[in-house]
Amino acid sequence: MYDENELVRLAAEDDIGAFEKLVALYEKRVYTMALRMTGNPDDAFDISQEAFIRVHRSIKGFKGDSKFSTWIYRIVSNLCIDFNRKQKRIKQVPLERDDEDEPFKITITDSRFEPERNLERSEVLSAINRALSTLSDEHREVFILRELNGLSYAEIAEVKMIEVGTVKSRLFRARENMRKALLESGNFPEF
């Protein structure tokens, strides 16, 4: 069993099997990030495919100065930003997670037989999605990278190629705007 650094090295030497293992390691995370940034499964799939094509073309130039995950998140991030600029529309970002290996987890009890709770949960998720859609692209992206993908401030700074202080500032503003939007929706009390 190879570690990630070894897989990257082998993939850079045109080892297709190693590249396939890297794809298998990252495909869900890449797709999930693209889905959250675009709000559309088809667009997220296309961006994921383009991201792996770019990784394959550029892996020989990957120097390892940052973690491989940071590098691939930067590629996905840039593709999503370009896509959203082309679309020029605000998208909702789904909050649901398909990948159990991700650091962000929501535990929800089985409420299949409690229609009131299902309605309440649906309303809360809708309110959160609406609040996310009010954020600017740069604030939404930093929020998603931190709160949903679990990246550190330093990792986000690497992905976005900005200062850690800028990450903290954007994250603060994103959280503030989320809080305000959720309060205005009337679904969440002020603490």
> Does pTM surpass 0.85?
no
pLDDT of residue 102: 54
Closest CA to 53 of 75, 32, 85: 75
Domain that holds residue 52: 4-185
pLDDT of residue 118: 60
pLDDT of residue 25: 92
Q: Is residue 111 part of a domain?
A: yes
DSSP class per residue in 169-191: HHHHHHHHHHHHHHHHHTSS---
CATH number assigned to the domain comprising residue 131:
1.10.1740.10
Q: Is residue 100 part of a domain?
A: yes
Helix 16-38 / helix 4-12 crossing angle, nearest 10 deg: 110
Q: Is residue 190 part of a domain?
A: no
Q: Total structural domains in the chain?
A: 1
Under 8 Å between Cβ of 162 and 151: no
Tokens 């603060």, residue located:
172
Closest CA to 53 of 30, 35, 33, 82: 30
Q: Is residue 23 part of a domain?
A: yes
Q: Is residue 15 part of a domain?
A: yes
Cα–Cα distance, 176 to 43 (Å, whole number):
29
Q: Is residue 120 part of a domain?
A: yes
Cα–Cα distance, 37 to 26 (Å, whole number):
16
pLDDT string in tens for the chain (191-residue length): 678 889 999 999 999 999 999 999 999 999 988 888 887 888 999 999 999 999 999 999 888 788 898 899 989 988 988 888 887 644 444 555 555 555 554 454 444 455 666 666 677 777 777 888 888 888 988 998 888 778 889 989 988 889 999 999 999 999 998 888 888 877 565 55
Q: Is residue 10 part of a domain?
A: yes
Q: Is residue 48 part of a domain?
A: yes
